[in-house]
Structures are given as C-alpha cells and as structure tokens.
C-alpha cells in the first residue's frame, strides 16, 4: 500500500484539505466549516487505497498562498503537478483540458467536448468532471450547461456560483460576503 499525506489550509471560508503522494497532488477539498467536515468529505470521495498520514504543511508552499489569493478575488493559476493515474483515460483527458480554462472564463460541457475532439460527448464530459479530485485547482466550476449553471457534484450549485462570483469580482481584495 502506498503512502499519501494530507494537511489543512485555512481560508476565510473555512478549512480545505489537500492530499499529495510523492510530489503530486491527489485531492483537494473545498473549504468547509471544520477540519472534521473536510476530512469526512475527503473520505467519502477517496476512490483509491493508500495509507493516509497527516502533516503540518504541504510540500507545495506556494499552493496555500495561491488559494488564499484566489478566495480574496485575485486571478491565480494553479501549476501544481496532479496525480490522476487512477482515473480513466477519458476522465484524465477531460480534466487536463479543464485545467487549461483561464481564470474568469467559462466553457459549456459541449464546448469542452469539442476541445477534446469528441463533440457529441457533453454528457460524458459532465460525468468525468464529477470525478475531479482537485476542484478549484482543476477548475470544473468553469464548465456550465448551455442554458444554465449545470451541476457541481459533492459541493452543490451554490458553491459553483460562489466560485464563479469570486472570479467575476471587479475589485479583487475588497470585502465579499458569501451566501453559502
């Protein structure tokens, strides 16, 4: 059994959990009200087997700063190496294409399907996005339905709208009251 590690990141929205194995990120849990809730969501979503060990800090010191900046409304890109090996090749392809969607921009499920060369696979793209172990870092919230927001598994539509609202703020760093 391989070893993976995790630590918590505190944001003004709550506690996120970040997990890594060797030098690649395995999972990220969006901010929750408590560390226990973040760990609970992680345990429900974890579809892989490994020995999980807590650590004080992640080996990605720039990640915490980037996440803090993101939630303050500053445009950031996450350039951490990801561990996606336990996902299907199609899901990996969808997530890699999703990781390239710029901050503050959106694509529809159909547009993302076209980007990966499979224009009739919009529903399959949606299912693949539901497997995203690194929301925010692989910005699946930036993929919407043609005529509405679409879904956001695990976290719910309100969280998706919150993330898109953060990215559309005209004045980064100004006070912001979440509605979740």
**Phi, psi at 176, each rounded to 5°:** -145, 125
Both tokens of 158, joined, read 């309100």
Residues tagged active-site: 140
Number of helices (H) and strands (E), helices first, in the chain? 6, 6
34 secondary structure, DSSP code: S
**Domain limits, the chain:** 3-71, 89-167
User: What CATH class does 89-167 carry?
Assistant: mainly alpha
Task: Give the pLDDT of the chain (180 residues) as one tens digit per residue.
Answer: 567 888 899 888 899 999 988 889 999 999 999 999 998 888 887 655 556 677 777 788 888 899 999 988 899 988 889 999 989 999 999 999 999 999 999 999 999 999 999 999 999 999 999 999 999 999 999 999 887 777 777 777 888 999 999 998 877 666 555 554
Name the burial class of residue 118, with classes exposed (0-12), middle (13-18) and buried (19+) by CB atoms within 10 angstroms of its CB: middle
Ramachandran angles phi, psi of 156, nearest 5°? 90, 160
Q: Answer yes or no: are the C-beta atoms of 98 and 142 closer than 8 Å.
A: yes
Q: How far is CA 25 from the centre of its chain?
A: 11
pTM: 0.87
Q: Sort strands 3-11 and 14-21 into parallel, antiparallel or unpaired.
A: antiparallel
What 3-state DSSP class applies to 168? Answer: coil
pLDDT at 47: 55
Report whether 165 contacts 104 (CB < 8 A).
Answer: no
């Amino acid at each position: 059994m391989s070893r993976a590690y995790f630590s918590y990141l505190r944001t003004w929205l709550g506690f996120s959990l970040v997990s890594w194995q060797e030098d690649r990120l395995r999972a990220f849990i969006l901010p929750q009200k408590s560390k226990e809730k973040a760990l609970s969501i992680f345990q429900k979503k974890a579809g892989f087997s490994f020995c999980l060990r807590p650590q004080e800090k992640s080996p990605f010191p720039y990640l915490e700063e980037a996440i803090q900046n993101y939630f303050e409304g500053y445009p950031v890109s996450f350039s951490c190496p990801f561990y996606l090996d336990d996902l299907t090749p199609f899901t990996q392809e969808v997530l890699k294409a999703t990781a390239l969607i710029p901050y503050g921009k959106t694509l529809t499920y159909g547009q993302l399907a076209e980007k990966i060369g499979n224009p009739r696979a919009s529903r399959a793209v949606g299912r693949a996005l539901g497997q995203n172990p690194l929301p925010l870092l692989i910005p699946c919230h930036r993929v919407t339905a043609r005529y509405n927001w679409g879904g956001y598994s695990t976290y719910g539509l309100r969280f998706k709208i919150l993330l898109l609202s953060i990215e559309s703020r005209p004045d980064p760093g100004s006070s912001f009251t979440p509605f979740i």
